[in-house]
Amino acid sequence: MFKLNSKFKPTGDQPQAIEKLTAGLKSGKKHQTLLGVTGSGKTFTMANVIANIGKPTLVISHNKTLAAQLYQEFREFFPHNSVHYFVSYYDYYQPEAYIPHTDTYIEKDAKINEEIDRLRHAATQALLTRDDVIIVASVSCIYNLGSPEDYQKLSLHLFEGQKISPKEIIRSLLRLQYNQDIELKRGAFRKGVNEIEIVPPSGDKVTKIKLSDSKIVKIMVAESFDQDALLEKELSYERIIETRIFPAKYWVATDDRIDFAIANIKAELQQHLVKLKKQDLYLEAGRLKQRTEEDIRMIKRAGYCHGIENYSRHLDFREAGEPPFALLDFFKTKGDFLTIIDESHLTVPQLRGMFHGDHSRKSTLIEYGFRLPSALDNRPLRFPEFQKSVNQVVYLSATPKEYELKKSGKNGLTEQLVRPTGLLDPTIEIRPTHNQIVHLIDEIKRRVVAGQRILVTTLTKRMAEDLSEHLAEKGIKVNYIHSEIKTLERLEIIHDLRLGNYDVIVGVNLLREGLDLPEVSLIAILDADKEGFLRNATTLIQTMGRAARHLDGHVIMYADKMTGSMENAIRETERRRKIQEEYNAKHGITPASIQKAVKRSDLSRQGGTKAKISRWYSYDPIDGKEDLEKLPVAHRIEILTKQMERAVKELRFEYALYLREEVLKLKKAASS
């Protein structure tokens, strides 16, 4: 069912990992863990496993950017299969909230990205129409989505020879939340003479229905993945016998069901108003009555309202507290499916924590009369509900945590420690903190002479800045990274490190960048003996792994005592290195540093431009920035907003976030 496309063959210990994971899945094993070191090709291994198992597969990542990278990789591995991308569809999102102590109501502020919404619909439709489906998703896949049964049941089935009038088709399309337009757009239809053209929410095709005497005489379909193609190009149509038009939105219902849902919403409203008034909360009661009745009027008139998801319990006919429908329920329509949790040491905690933050915020809204209690059922799945929804799971991580290891058991752990290039985990040295900076500078200069790069990790932002300034005074090309440095700037700094514009980066937590820096040969960890999140065994192993792409990879820990975390991290790194050395010796492999072209990240560029960083070593200003700053504020906001929208469409989320910050600054300045 899945046809893997790759010019590479499994190598190193990939074959044994593929064999063991495949055998475990075929034997019915529920949980397995792949402990794969950085650069060992975990994604390629799992692509082979998917091809062997042949089940629809859900891959969950802990952020959008990594999910996008995995999506691209799986598309390349499976070009002939149905690979999709499912993440939160907001360019930006400010949830509705109320802060009691300042009496501040924050209205929901969100901008839906049309391209991501298209990709979401393409994913769910693929699950309802195909078996060879791989969906790469963020943790948003456990959030309330709507009933897959209703989504499919309410779809419009059309076939050649069917007796149906144009008015009936249009009425059905409007009920499915399609808009009538003179232009072909996603989730819209256009009526011509004896024909109706429809673009589904997935936006991947145009369906043309030709009618005569209230009868369908011809159905034609044309592929179109680009909105510009709809407007500018002649479409190439093929004749088909039948088609199914899926709803344009996830929360749709028949008129009868809407009437029933409204009756239940009214009943809940009256019940809760009585409760609020008994507590003398008349202001809250009045506010709730006004807001809810307005929503009811909109649902009656259009079948939809702003924030309709807060009434999803009534629309889905669920009991209070019953789990909401999520993407996992669309997978359940396939029967059995495989779940892969990437970077499980980060993703599992996210899956655990999503419910509680959402519940706390909505409880406050309900208490103060902004929402009905049923809004609590518009929520992510609780972690136990998620566990019940999945069947077989494979966890991927270089540092799996206790949860994954316990679930998998001793026999469910597969190690992938050998890199295709033969590279070893780095050597480790412990140095006292006395005169550590003097020693560090000597080490830096020695590596720079050899054309190598260095990463230095500190515990605080202030220390990162101060150390960078000190190194710069010593003539070292250096910059720093921490959470206050904008994403775009961080990516530019990393890019310039690879180019040699810098030799050293000092940072607090350099793991968040997803660094792939083959030029880095030395990792220096200051205050390695200060136990905590940034110096626990998992973080230390992950940090040291950043030097595992260079032949001379080396780690220096500056510490005055040996902590348990240091001991565990060193022991594990040395264990992996020994296995790698033995493998290389047995197979006659000579380790070689990874050679990788220096390319500017798509996340860090917009038409070849780069951010201006004014610390010790500045970049050229953004092309045309001086001209942009001469424009009226409203015009600048418009230009940057368009750039933001384009960036999100291209899945460059971090750059879009940077542009959003600039737009918000301009809007704030304009209003003050």
pLDDT in tens, 352-405: 988 887 888 899 999 989 999 999 999 999 999 999 999 999 999 989 999 999
Residue 3 has pLDDT above 90, yes or no: yes
Position 51 scores a pLDDT of 97
Residues facing 456 on adjacent strands? 506, 524
Model confidence over 597-654: pLDDT tens digits? 565 543 344 333 333 333 433 222 233 444 566 677 777 888 888 777 777 666 666 5
pLDDT at 231: 57
Query: Higher pLDDT residue, 442 or 651?
Result: 442
Q: Is residue 433 over pLDDT 80? A: yes
Could you tell me which residue, 410 or 196, shows the higher pLDDT? 196
Contact residues for 8 (Cβ-Cβ < 8 A; gap 6+): 44
Nearest 5°: phi and psi at 636? -65, -40
Contact predicate 423/451, CB 8 Å: no
Under the banding of pLDDT at 50, 70 and 90, the label for residue 112 is low
* pLDDT score at 614: 33
Residue 17's pLDDT is what? 96
Beta carbons of 351 and 386 less than 8 angstroms apart: yes
Cα–Cα distances in angstroms (integers) from residue 522 to residues 69, 136, 294, 543, 631, in the given order: 27, 34, 62, 11, 46
Say if residue 166's pLDDT is above 70: yes
**Angle at CA 663, nearest 5°, toward 662 and 666?**
90
Would you state the pLDDT for residue 655?
66
Q: What is the mean pLDDT of residues 265-271?
A: 96
Q: How far apart are CA 133 and CA 275, in angstroms?
A: 48
pLDDT of residue 253: 74
Q: What is the mean pLDDT of residues 427-431?
A: 95
Contact between residue 118 and residue 186 where contact means Cβ atoms under 8 Å apart: yes
Sign of CA dihedral 52, 58, 63, 65: positive
Please report the pLDDT score of residue 627 as a whole number: 55
Decide if pLDDT at 515 tops 80: no
- Mean pLDDT on 89-102: 70
Taking the CA atoms of 447, 451, 457 and 461 in sequence, report the sign of the dihedral they define.
positive
Which pLDDT score, from 0 to 100, does residue 401 have? Answer: 92
Which pair of tokens denotes residue 404? 């994954």
Residue range 207-233: mean pLDDT, rounded: 80
- pLDDT at position 617 is 34
pTM: 0.76
Burial class (CB in 10 A: 0-12, 13-18, 19+), 430: middle
pLDDT the model gives residue 607: 36
Backbone angles phi, psi at 64, to 5 degrees: -65, -40
pLDDT band at 235 (very low <50, low <70, confident <90, very high): confident
* pLDDT above 70: residue 243: yes
Give the E-state strand segments of 377-477 in sequence order: 392-397, 413-416, 427-431, 453-457
- E-assigned strands of 398-487? 413-416, 427-431, 453-457, 478-481
| For the chain, percent of residues with pLDDT exceeding 90 | 53
Average per-residue pLDDT for the chain: 85
Specify whether the CB–CB gap between 177 and 252 falls below 8 A.
yes
Name the pLDDT band for 150 (thresholds 50, 70, 90): confident
**pLDDT value, residue 494:** 79
pLDDT at res. 410: 86
The percent of residues above 70 in pLDDT, for the chain, comes to 87
CA distance 445 to 461: 24
Q: Per-residue pLDDT averaged across 434-441, rounded?
A: 94
The predicted structure's pLDDT at residue 109: 60
The top-scoring range by mean pLDDT among 411-415, 593-597, 657-661, 665-669 is 411-415
